[in-house]
Amino acid sequence: MEYVIREAKREDMPAVLELIKELASYEGAADQVEIHVSDLEHEGFDEGNFKCFVAEVDEKIEGLALVYFRFSTWKGRTVHLEDLIVRESMRGTGLGGALYKRVVKYGHENSVRRVEWVVSEGNKNAQEFYENTGADIKKNWYTVHMDETGIQKNID
C-alpha cells in the first residue's frame, strides 16, 4: 500500500474532524467532541496553536497526528502529541507507525528535548508499540483535567 505523510492544510480540517469524531465514538465519548471545523482552521492556521500531519491513501485522509509545543521546567522545549488517529479500517497497515515517526522527526527538527503524549490504560497494543520504540510509559503520573465548570468555580 502506498501512502503519503504530509502537513495538513486548512482544507483538510473537515476530514481531520471526521477522524477525531471517529476516535471519540470508538472510545465511547462521541458526545464529548465540542470543536468544529472552524475551530480547527482558526487555531491551527490563523493562530498557529498546533501542527497536524495527515496520512493519505489514494488521496483520502486515513490518519492524523496533531502536535503542539510545550515547555518543561526540567527539559525545556517539548512537543506534545495530542492525538494519533488511524481510521479503524486502516489500522495495522503501518500508517500509525509512519505518523509516529513523522512526529518524532518533527520534534528533532525543532530541537525538542522530549516528545510526550498520553495513552489510554486499556490500549495495550499502543503501549507495547510505544515501549518497543524506546518510549517510557510513566505509570506513577496522572493526567489531570479541569473542565469549564471547574475553571469557573476557581475564578468566581
SS3 call for 139: coil
Give the separation between CA 8 and CA 10, rounded to whole angstroms: 7
- % pLDDT > 90, the chain: 88
Question: What confidence score (pLDDT) does residue 30 get?
Answer: 93
Quick check: 85 and 100 in contact, CB under 8 A?
Answer: no
In the predicted model, what is the mean pLDDT of residues 47-69? 98
Question: What confidence score (pLDDT) does residue 142 get?
Answer: 87
Question: What confidence score (pLDDT) does residue 120 get?
Answer: 86
43-57, 98-112, 122-136: least confidently modelled range: 122-136
What is the phi-psi region of residue 94: left when phi exceeds 0, alpha when psi lies from -120 to 50, beta otherwise?
left
In the predicted model, what is the mean pLDDT of residues 69-96? 96
- From first CA to last CA, the distance across the chain in angstroms is 55
CA quadruple 140, 110, 56, 13: dihedral positive or negative? positive
pLDDT tens figures, 24-37: 998 889 999 999 99
Give the separation between CA 120 and CA 52, rounded to whole angstroms: 21
Domain boundaries, the chain: 4-155
Quick check: 108 and 73 in contact, CB under 8 A?
Answer: no
pLDDT tens figures, 104-126: 999 999 999 999 999 988 888 88
Given a cut of 90, is residue 64 above it in pLDDT?
yes
Which of 109, 96, 100 shows the shortest CA–CA distance to 81?
100
Any idea which residues carry the catalytic annotation? 130
**Which architecture does CATH list for 4-155?**
3-Layer(aba) Sandwich (3.40)
In the predicted model, what is the mean pLDDT of residues 42-60? 98
